[in-house]
Amino acid sequence: MKQVLLIGFLLNMLAISAQVKISGRVTDNKNKVLAGASITLKNTYDGATSDSAGMYSFITSEKGIQILEVSITGYNLFTQIITIAGEPLGQNISLKEQITELKAVVISAGSFEASDKSKGAVLNSIDIVTTPSANGDVTSAFKSLPGTQQVGESEGLFVRGGTATESKIYMDGNLVNNFFYSSTPGIATRGRFNPFLFKGTVFSTGGYSALYGQALSSALILESTDLPERTQADLGISVLGVGGGIQHLAKNKKSSWGVSANYTNLWLAFNVIKQKQDFFRVPLANQADANFRIKTKNGGFLKYYGYISTNKTGFRNPDIDSLTLKDAFSISNVNTYQNINLKDRIGKGWKINTGLSFSTN
């Protein structure tokens, strides 16, 4: 029995003597101690975490050439090749702070950016239509972001307590007036434009380019799609209406044109789902648009977008001064919007960015 215990003791001592202690101190490049850094030997389970004084130590049975890895949030990953022999190893570590800048990445061919998009929130068309509260509306998707307010009875973008007039909307650098359907009392209307018209939407509740000016609270910047990937047509039929369109890409892939039309009638929906308002004329809308895009030899684009819509609705609300009377509201609206824009290079080191927009309501 004594022999067995002696042999076990000797084996244990041999195992302990085969282990090597690795220790040191973790600091940054300004010699400030870093607590909570993870220190490990790569591809092993051996390691430790630095304490409040930046000190660490651990025991390992590994031998030979190993890779020491040190990581902590906010600093670059540190790797060092070390050789483990029989002697304790001291390894002080200095980490470099990781410089991180969140940037909006917009991949586009032949377009020129007019503002610093890294300072605003950027959503693509898929982000907009998949935001649960947006219902496929461009501006509603941004109302869920910090700095904006939800105002249920009025359309527009409200930023930090400002009015809707303090937020302007631009398409390809041109101001878009009458972006929303005409106002109705107590009901917030939607935007008129399909989110799939745009390759990127940029919204800033703080700083934005001086290009937009006008002492605004914010600017919603819409960049229209350049060229479609391929020629395609679509047709949709639902209980709310019918719509369809076509986008045609030229064989040389340097130009495209498209048209679409939609008819919406909410009669069936309002008969199934009762509304708070007493509608005597259910919402009815017709919309058509057309566009063309031409790619220039210098990689720029000439773009045109035209839109026309009509909508009618009418409803009654209780009169605030009478228990028996009601206030009737009716609207019959015709809206048009035209936008043409040219972005191109002219000569060495020069760019041209010009456009014109026109709207009636």
Output the DSSP codes for 139-193. HHHHTTSTTEE--TTS-S-EETT--GGGEEEEETTEE-SS-BPPPBTTBPPPBSS
Residue 105 lies in a domain: no
Q: Is 109 exposed, middle or buried (0-12, 13-18, 19+ CB in 10 A)?
A: exposed
Between CA 57 and CA 333 the distance in angstroms is 76
pLDDT 10s per residue in the chain (361 long)?
555 444 554 445 544 456 889 999 999 988 999 999 999 998 888 889 999 999 999 999 888 899 999 999 889 999 999 988 878 888 899 999 887 665 555 443 333 333 445 555 677 778 787 877 777 788 887 777 777 777 777 777 777 767 777 788 888 888 888 888 888 887 778 888 888 888 877 776 655 555 666 656 777 888 888 888 899 999 999 988 999 999 999 999 999 999 999 999 999 888 888 888 888 899 999 999 999 999 998 889 999 999 999 999 998 888 888 888 888 899 899 999 999 999 998 878 888 989 999 999 8
* pLDDT the model gives residue 212: 62
Alpha helices (runs of H) in the chain, residue ranges in sequence order: 2-18, 125-130, 138-142, 267-272
* pLDDT the model gives residue 245: 93
Residue 54 lies in a domain: yes
**Nearest one of 226, 230, 259 to 244, comparing CA atoms:** 259
Tokens of 276: 């708070």
Same domain, 146 and 47: no
**Nearest one of 147, 158, 157, 193 to 172, comparing CA atoms:** 193
User: For 81-100, b where at least 16 C-beta lie within 10 A, e where not — what string?
Assistant: eeebeeeebeeebebeeeee
E strand or H helix at 44: none
Q: How far is CA 306 from CA 14, 111, 186, 291, 295, in A?
A: 85, 20, 30, 6, 18
Tokens of 291: 């566009």
* pLDDT the model gives residue 210: 56
Domain that holds residue 178: 117-360
Same domain, 80 and 220: no
Residue 107 lies in a domain: no
Q: How far is CA 19 from CA 14, 89, 188, in A?
A: 9, 11, 72
Between CA 95 and CA 142 the distance in angstroms is 39
CB 89 within 8 A of CB 21: yes
Same domain, 143 and 39: no
Same domain, 90 and 150: no
Same domain, 151 and 65: no
* pLDDT the model gives residue 108: 38
Residue 312 lies in a domain: yes
Same domain, 52 and 150: no
Between CA 165 and CA 216 the distance in angstroms is 8
Same domain, 90 and 149: no
Tokens of 224: 């229209």
Same domain, 66 and 163: no
pTM exceeds cut of 0.75: no
How many other β-carbons are positioned within 10 Å of the β-carbon of residue 329? 17
3-class secondary structure, 25: strand
What CATH number does the domain containing 165 carry? 2.170.130.10
Residue 159 lies in a domain: yes
Same domain, 273 and 169: yes
How many other β-carbons are positioned within 10 Å of the β-carbon of residue 33? 15
Same domain, 81 and 167: no
Same domain, 87 and 169: no
> How many domains would you assign to the chain?
2
Between CA 103 and CA 40 the distance in angstroms is 32
Question: Which residue has 């605003």 as its token pair?
Answer: 120
Residue 214 lies in a domain: yes
Question: What residues are paired with 233 via a beta bridge?
Answer: 246
Handedness of CA 98, 101, 104, 109 (dihedral sign): negative
